[in-house]
Amino acid sequence: MNEKVYGARCKDCGKEMYPAHARCPECGSEKLEPLEIAGQGKVLTYTDLYALPLDYERRYLRLAIVELDSGLRATGQLLDEKPKLGKRVRTTIGVVRQSGDRKIHGLQFVPV
Amino acid sequence: MRKVGIVGIGQSRFGIRSDASLRELSFEAAKASLDDAGIPLDDVQAMVVSVASDELSYALQPSAQVVDYLGFNPKPSFRVEGACASGSMAVRTGWMTVASGLADLVIVVGAEKMTEVSTAAVTDVLGRAGDFMWEYPFGMTFPGYYALIARAHMAKYGTTEEQLSMVAVKNHHYGALNPYAHMRKEISLDKAMSSFTVADPLKLYDCCLISDGAAAIVLASDKLAGSLSKKPVWISGLGLGTDTISLSDRRDITTLDATVEAARQAYDMAGIGPKDIDVAVVHDCFTIAEIAAYEDLGFCAKGEGGKLIEEKRTYIGGDIPVNVDGGLKSKGHPIGATGVAMAAEIAKQLRGEADPGRQVENARIGLSHNVGGNGQHAAVHVFQVD
Ligand SMILES: [Zn+2]
């Protein structure tokens, strides 16, 4: 699978960001390059949603914010039967939502 | 800039109002505020309207429905939007219109009709107030955002699920005394704690209601305010802060920096500090949001919000009574109306006209705190009487 998730890196000061901005929040530069969001990190917080939005027909959905080893944080689905704060996980990309025939790919986290 | 005072307040009953449309709810509130001010609509020079969602009203410019139904044409009207903080944006816009000298008398109307679409659809629309591209597509919801904040807060500061539930118990206690509230009933700690999980660790009673409703205030310039009202309620401080669209991108997940910034601006402008506040309404869309608001507004140190409610210091008689109108939790949260209703409630408190059992005695300085989305916007206003 070729899907990837990108944030951005400032070409002037090196600041990494996710999501991307048009302008570097650190130095104001508009020279930004894509930065792939991938790798390992730890679970900062998570939740199991039982009141689900449209498109989901399941009992619950487990979401998390993970702090990657690069220091960047990302939100995604947590695919872990035994979630715990601080637990090591790695990113993967999968179908996070399906609306009719339309599949949306996005970040998921699995235990290391 | 000129001083601006609130000279009229009005509110519709909040709740599942299948008896009234958006425009009818707006009329209920606007009429009450004009009667309270003792002026006809003909005297009002401009109208600011807050309706947060086109998607819930199934219409572009829903404000035009309000302006027409009230019979305000052809005078100027302006709609403002900031998700759940729309109402406070409207109050701020109304204040700007009068303070700048553009008008002497302005009406601010906030309204929302939320119960005509399914709960799943409302959940979906509200989820899209967050980061539409990088957080919402995972199935993120509003309770989801605040659940992530709650778990992080509990881990960092030892805040407990009981403390969260205690916020709900307090707000229902006062909401039961408010005739305009959506859910006028007390709840026990046991009932709150045993309610079903919406987004772990948040349970049903940690979440605010989905309500229909409207609120309105009439604002006047200093000269006019004195002649129209025995006790004008002056807006003495305004703050408006913003923060990242993604929750994951925040400096600290347990703090709403938009609130911290808005509070700093409002306190500076009014020349007061958090200790001077006699009564406050804060944005308790979820119980954890009220606890974080205590901290971010400076009512206590960071991390001590749980203790503040546990020691009942935000009840009447405590250091700083908070949400003694029932809050979003029990009074209800028709999103476009909420910020305007907050201003109306503080004006009522400072005029000494709140319902028996929920009036803060001799309150002179009040504060409202209104959050848009999960902290992308926050507005803090300070109100004072002479
Ligand atoms: Zn830079």
Residue spans per domain, chain A: 6-35, 38-111
Tell me phi and psi for residue B28, to 5 degrees.
Answer: -55, -50
Contacts of residue B196 in chain A, CB cutoff 8 Å? Answer: 50
User: What distance in angstroms lies between residue A18's CA and the mean position of ligand 1's atoms?
Assistant: 13
**What is the predicted pLDDT for the residue at B383?**
98
Q: What is the mean pLDDT of chain A?
A: 94
Out of B124, B202, B253, whose CB is closest to A54?
A: B124
- Cα A10 to averaged position of ligand 1 atoms, centre (Å): 5
B283: annotated active-site residue: no
Of B120, B135, B141, the CB nearest to A75: B135
Reported confidence tier of residue A21, pLDDT bands at 50, 70, 90: very high
Say what the pLDDT of residue A1 is: 53
Residue B172 lies in a domain: no
- List residues, by chain if needed, whose CB lies under 5 Å from ion ligand 1: A 10, 12-13, 15, 24, 26-27, 29
Mean pLDDT of A7-36: 96
Asked if residue B278 is part of any domain, the answer here is no
Asked if B330 contacts B171 with a C-beta cutoff of 8 angstroms, the reply is: yes
How do residues B135-170 score in pLDDT, each as one tens digit?
888 889 999 999 999 999 999 999 999 999 999 999
Question: What is the arithmetic mean of pLDDT over B164-184?
Answer: 98
Residue B272: how many CB atoms within 10 A of its CB? 17
Domain assignment of residue B55, yes or no: yes
Domain that holds residue B17: 4-117+210-228
For residue B299, the model assigns a pLDDT of 98
CA distance A65 to B151: 11
Q: What span, in angstroms and rounded, lies between the C-alpha atoms of B250 and A77?
A: 19
A chain contacts of residue B123, beta-carbon cutoff 8 Å: 51-54
Q: In whole angstroms, how large is the CA radius of gyration of chain A?
A: 15
Answer whether residue B133 is part of any domain.
no
A38-111: CATH topology is: OB fold (Dihydrolipoamide Acetyltransferase, E2P) (2.40.50)
Q: In total, how many domains does chain B have?
A: 1
Q: What is the CATH number of the domain that holds B33?
A: 3.40.47.10
Question: pLDDT tens-digit profile of B358-378?
Answer: 999 999 999 999 999 999 999
**Angstrom distance (rounded) from CA B364 to CA B383:** 8
Give the pTM: 0.96
Interface ipTM > 0.90: yes
CB A71 within 8 A of CB B168: no
CB B89 within 8 A of CB B339: yes
The pLDDT of B84-108, averaged and rounded, is 98
Q: How far apart are CA B266 and CA B276, in angstroms?
A: 13
Enumerate residues 6+ apart whose C-beta is below 8 A from B74: none
More confident site: A3 or B255 = B255
Q: What is the pLDDT of residues B235-288, one digit of tens each?
A: 999 999 999 999 999 999 999 999 999 999 999 999 999 999 999 999 999 999
Find chain A residues with C-beta within 8 A of B119's C-beta.
51
* Percent share of chain B, pLDDT over 70: 100
For A46-55, how does the pLDDT look when each residue is reduced to its tens digit (9 = 90+)?
Answer: 999 998 888 8
Asked whether residue B15 is assigned to any structural domain, the reply reads yes
pLDDT level of residue B119 (50, 70, 90 thresholds): confident
Residue B73 resides in a domain:
yes
SS3 state at B202? strand
Residue contact B155–A45, C-beta within 8 A: yes
- Model confidence at B304, pLDDT cuts 50, 70, 90, reads very high
User: What confidence score (pLDDT) does residue B19 get?
Assistant: 95
Confidence of residue B126 (pLDDT cuts 50, 70, 90): confident
* In a domain? residue B235: no
Q: How confident is the model at residue A18 (pLDDT cuts 50, 70, 90)?
A: very high
Q: Which residue of B has its CA nearest to A94?
A: B138
Any catalytic annotation for residue B84?
Answer: yes
Helix H, strand E, coil C: the string for chain A is: CCCCCEEEEECCCCCEECCCCCCCCCCCCCCEEEEECCCEEEEEEEEEECCCCCCCCCCCEEEEEEEECCCCEEEEEECCCCCCCCCEEEEEEEEEEEECCEEEEEEEEEEC
pLDDT at A52 (0 to 100): 86
Tens digits of per-residue pLDDT, B204-227?
999 999 999 999 999 999 999 999
